């Protein structure tokens, strides 16, 4: 059973996932594949309901870079936990395309990866777990220092050192 965690809370998913061949329902938030977004962009926008786009790991989010302000959700799929393209995509979506909505990791998402995923800009995760929240808490505590600046905006150790020197 997969569970959605968003902003560190267990969340009921408000989005209905629509397949490529499914009709778009009259009402309600929808999460659509890229093809559906491309084919029915205007129609989806006219509905006045939240829209999310689901990208497979070989679909570069650059394709929707100009649309991010119209979207409430971007879901990046990890077909296997070994496929790390989503980490780069996430940073681009946040840092380069300026997306501020929900960035969700879906697919083969392991607890052990949530830490990295949070750092590159994901704020929602679909995980297979009975006790996802407790696990997330553990994972979130894994590290309190980082060498690299990343999309989460937290200070790197180099930045902290500089701070320390200025104040110390």
Partner 1 sequence: MYRYDEFDQQLVNERAEQFRRQVRRRMNGELTEDQFKPLRLMNGLYLQLHAYMLRVNVPYGCLSARQLRQLAHIARKYDKGYGHFTTRQNIQYNWIRLEDAADILTDLAAVGMNAMQSSGNCVRNVTADHYAGRARDELQDPRVWCELLRQYSILNPEFSYLPRKFKIAVTGAPKDRAAVALHDIGLRMYLNEGGEPGFEVIVGGGQGRTPVIGKTIREWIEPEHVISYVEAILRIYNLYGRRDNIYKARIKILVNALGIDKYRELVEAEWLQIRDGVLKIAPEELARIDAYFQPPAYEQLADQDTEPSQLHDADPAFAAWLQSNVAEHKVVGYAIVNVSLKSPGKIPGDLSAQKMDALADLADQYSFGELRVSHRQNLVLVDVKQSDLHALWQALGALDLATPNIGLASDIIACPGLDFCALANTRSIPVAQDIALHFANSTKLQHVGDLTINISGCMNACGHHHVGNIGILGVDKRGQEFFQLTLGGSSDEHASLGDRVGPGLPQSEVPGAIERIVDTYLEIRDGKDECFLNTYRRCGMEVFRTAVYGPAGPARRVTATRQVA
For tokens 């084919």, the residue is: 39
> In this structure, are residues 89 and 120 in contact, taking their beta carbons and an 8 Å threshold?
no
- Map the footprint of partner 1 across residues 86-145, applying CB under 8 A: 87-89, 91, 96, 110, 112-113, 115-117, 119-120, 138, 142-145
Alpha carbons within 13 angstroms on the beta-carbon side of residue 17 total 9
Length of the chain counted residue by residue: 168
State in angstroms the smallest separation of the CB of 74 from partner 1.
Answer: 16
Give residues with Cβ within 8 angstroms of 12, minimum separation 6: 4
Q: Does 2 bind partner 1 (CB under 8 A)?
A: no
Of these, 17, 40, 70, 85, which contacts partner 1 (CB under 8 A)? Answer: 85
**Which chain residues interact with partner 1 by CB under 8 A?**
60, 81-85, 87-89, 91, 96, 110, 112-113, 115-117, 119-120, 138, 142-150, 156-158, 160-162, 165
């Amino acid at each position: 059973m997969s569970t959605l965690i968003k902003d560190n809370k267990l969340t009921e998913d408000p989005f209905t996932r629509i397949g490529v061949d499914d009709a778009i329902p009259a009402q309600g938030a929808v999460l659509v594949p890229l093809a559906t977004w491309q084919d029915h962009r205007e129609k989806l926008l006219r509905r006045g309901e939240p829209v999310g786009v689901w990208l497979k790991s070989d679909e570069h989010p650059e394709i929707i870079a100009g649309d991010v302000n119209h979207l409430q959700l971007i879901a990046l799929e990890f077909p296997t936990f070994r496929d790390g393209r989503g980490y780069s995509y996430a940073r681009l979506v946040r840092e380069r395309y300026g997306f501020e909505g929900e960035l969700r990791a879906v697919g083969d998402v392991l607890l052990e990866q949530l830490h990295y995923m949070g750092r590159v800009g994901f704020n929602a995760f679909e995980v297979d777990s009975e006790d996802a929240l407790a696990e997330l808490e553990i994972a979130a505590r894994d590290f309190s220092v980082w060498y690299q600046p990343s999309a989460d905006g937290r200070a790197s150790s180099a930045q902290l050192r500089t701070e320390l020197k200025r104040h110390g």
